[in-house]
Structure 1
Amino acid sequence: MTFLHWLAVLPLFAALVSDDAPTPANPGRLEHLADFPSKFVKARNVDVWLPEGYPQPGTRYAVVYMQDGQNLFDPKNAYGGVAWEVDSTLAALGPAVRPCIVVGIWNTDRRFPEYTPAKPYAAMSAAHRAQIEQERPGAPLSDAYLKFVVQELKPYVDKHFQTSPRRADTFVAGSSMGGLISLYAALEYPKVFGGAACFSTHWPLSLKENTSDFTTAMVQYLNKQLPRSGQPKLYFDHGSATLDAWYEPHQLRIDSVIRAHGYGPGNWLSRSFPGAAHNEAAWKKRVGPALQFLLRR
C-alpha cells in the first residue's frame, strides 16, 4: 500500500477504532511493574502490554514507550475513567502494523517538570520562566526523566522481553505535555528513538495564558536539532475544542519548520480534528492511525 493510499483510508480506520467498534476477543495481556526504581527520578509504575501469542519464536517486537501510562489500558486507573484502550486498538490493527509491545510509563506528581523540555525552556526569557514557575513550581526535570527512560527502563525492557532494540523499531508517544516530552525524547536521543507521536501537544506550557514564548523557543530548538535526513518519523495532531482550541497557530509554526527541514508524507504527518476536545476520549479515537503511521510495515 502506498503512503497516499494509506492516507486516503485513514478516515475508514478511524471508524474502525471508534467507540462503537467491537473489542477484539483477546487484546493480549499486561505485565505490571510496580514502583520501578530509578537513580534519576522518582520511582513509578510501568505497564507492559504484550500482544496475543507473545512471544512468537523468532519474532523481535518493536516497542512504543508511552507517557501517562495509567491512562492507556484500564479505565479504573485512567484520568476521568476513560482509557485509550491501546491494547484493543493494536489488536484490531493486526497485520497492518509490525508486531509490537507497548510500555506505559505512569506519571507522578512531578509530571509537569518531568515533561517540560529543558533546553527550549532555558531559551525563554527569565520573565516568562518565572511566570510559568509561579503557575507550576519547579524547574524542568526532563533531562533526568529521559535518562531514566533510555538508560534504565529501555535496557530492562530489552533484557526481559523479546524486543528489537534497534532505533527503527523504538518509538515514543504521548498527549498534551506528554506530546512535548515525546518530541524532545526523539530529538535528544536520535540514535534511540525512530519516531514520536504527539497528540494535542501543549505548546503554550501555561494553562492560564495562550502565549507563544515557548513555541518560539521550540522553533529555535527544532532548527538546531532536526536532522535534514528526514528522521525521525513525526506525528502531530490537535483538536479545536477546550484546551485544544489554543493549538492551531502553534502547530502551524512547528509544521513550517519541519517542512523546511525536508520532511514529507513518508516521515511526517500533522492532522487537525475539528471539534475534538482535550481529553482521553479524543485521544482514544486517534491513537490507532498514529500508531499505524509509526509502525506500518
Structure 2
Amino acid sequence: MRSFNYLPYKPGTGQGGFRGDAERWPGGGCEGYMRRLVQELMPLVTATFNTATDPARVAFGGGSFAGVTALYAAMHYPHVFGAVLAESPSLWIAEGRFIGDLWAHRGALPERLFMGCGTKEYSATRDHVRDEIDALLLHYYKEAAHAVQEAGLRGPQRFYLQVEEDAGHHELAWSWRLTGALSFLLAPWWDE
C-alpha cells in the first residue's frame, strides 16, 4: 500500500509507459496519511518524548514515493514542517502531473527544502540503460526546482537541489547525500 499512502493519485506508468509495472498500483491516500501523521502520530510522539512542535524545529523527509509525500507536505503542511527533505521524488507519477501541482501552488512553503537526485535515476537501478528516461527524470527534477523557486523558495538559504552524477534511485545514493542535506536543512537549529 506504499503507493496508496504516499501518492496523491495513482502512479500510472510514466511518460511513454516506462513503468508499466506500476499501472495497477493504487494511489490517492497521501492526504489521509499526512492527516494521521500530523493529527495522531506526532501528538503521541510529542507527549511521550517531549519533541518540538515549533515548525522551525520540525523536519520531514522521504525518498522515492515518500519523496513525493515530502513535497506534498512542503506545499500543504509548511505550518507543521519548517524543513523538508525530498530524495529522488518519483515525479514521473501520473505522467508528470505532480510537476503541475508544484507550478500551481500559491500557498506558503517551508523555510528550507532540500531535493536530491542522480543523473542515472533509472539506469543505475536496472539491468539495462535507458538514457532517455534518465534525461526525462532529471528534467522533472530541474522543473520541480524551478517551480518551488518561483513559488518563493529563492536563494541558497531556502532551497538546495543536489544533482549527483551517475547516482541512481536507491538508498545508497540517498545516504551519501544525507549529511549534506541535514547540514543544509538543520543549520538554523545550530545557530539558535
TM-score bracket for this pair, using the shorter chain length: 0.7 to 0.9
Going from structure 1 to structure 2, the CA distance change for 1:157 and 1:226 (only over 3 Å counts) comes to: farther
Identity in percent? 26
Supply the AA of the counterpart residue of 1:234: L
Which residue does the alignment assign to 1:140?
A: 28
Secondary structure of the structure 2 residue equivalent to 1:168: helix
Supply the AA of the counterpart residue of 1:252: K
Q: Is contact 1:179-1:198 (8 Å) kept?
A: yes
Which residue does the alignment assign to 2:147?
A: 257
Q: Is contact 1:200-1:247 (8 Å) kept?
A: no
Q: 2:74 aligns with which of 183, 186, 207?
A: 186
CA distance in 1, matches of 2:26, 2:20: 9
How far has the Cα of 1:134 moved from its partner? 6.7
Secondary structure of the structure 2 residue equivalent to 1:158: helix
Deviations 1:153-173 (A, max 9, x none): 100111011311111111111
How far has the Cα of 1:287 moved from its partner? 1.0
Supply the AA of the counterpart residue of 1:259: Q
Which residue does the alignment assign to 2:163?
A: 272
After TM superposition, the structure 1 = structure 2 runs for residues 150-161 of structure 1, keeping only pairs within 5 Å, are 150-161=38-49
Q: 1:240 aligns with which of 81, 105, 119?
A: 119
Supply the AA of the counterpart residue of 1:220: G
Q: 2:55 aligns with which of 160, 167, 183?
A: 167
Q: Is contact 2:85-2:114 (8 Å) kept?
A: yes
Deviations 1:229-265 (A, max 9, x none): x633111111122527242100111122122233211
CA distance in 1, matches of 2:110, 2:78: 8
Q: Is contact 1:186-1:232 (8 Å) kept?
A: no
CA distance in 2, matches of 1:256, 1:277: 22
How far has the Cα of 1:200 moved from its partner? 1.1
Supply the AA of the counterpart residue of 2:59: F
How far has the Cα of 1:227 moved from its partner? 3.9
How far has the Cα of 1:142 moved from its partner? 0.8
CA distance in 1, matches of 2:111, 2:102: 12
Which residue does the alignment assign to 1:282?
A: 173
Residues paired across the two proteins, number: 171
Secondary structure of the structure 2 residue equivalent to 1:255: helix
How far has the Cα of 1:226 moved from its partner? 4.7
After TM superposition, the structure 1 = structure 2 runs for residues 9-158 of structure 1, keeping only pairs within 5 Å, are 110-118=1-9, 135-158=23-46
Give the TM-score, by structure 2 length: 0.78
Query: Where does structure 1 lack aligned partners over 5 or more consecutive residues?
Result: 1-109, 207-212
CA distance in 2, matches of 1:194, 1:226: 17
Query: Where does structure 2 lack aligned partners over 5 or more consecutive residues?
Result: 124-133
Secondary structure of the structure 2 residue equivalent to 1:235: strand
Which residue does the alignment assign to 2:102?
A: 222
RMSD: 2.7
Secondary structure of the structure 2 residue equivalent to 1:275: coil
CA distance in 2, matches of 1:239, 1:197: 15
Q: Is contact 2:81-2:110 (8 Å) kept?
A: no
Going from structure 1 to structure 2, the CA distance change for 1:282 and 1:161 (only over 3 Å counts) comes to: same
Supply the AA of the counterpart residue of 1:254: A
More helix, by proportion = 2
CA distance in 2, matches of 1:150, 1:190: 12
Give the TM-score, by structure 1 length: 0.52
More strand, by proportion = 1
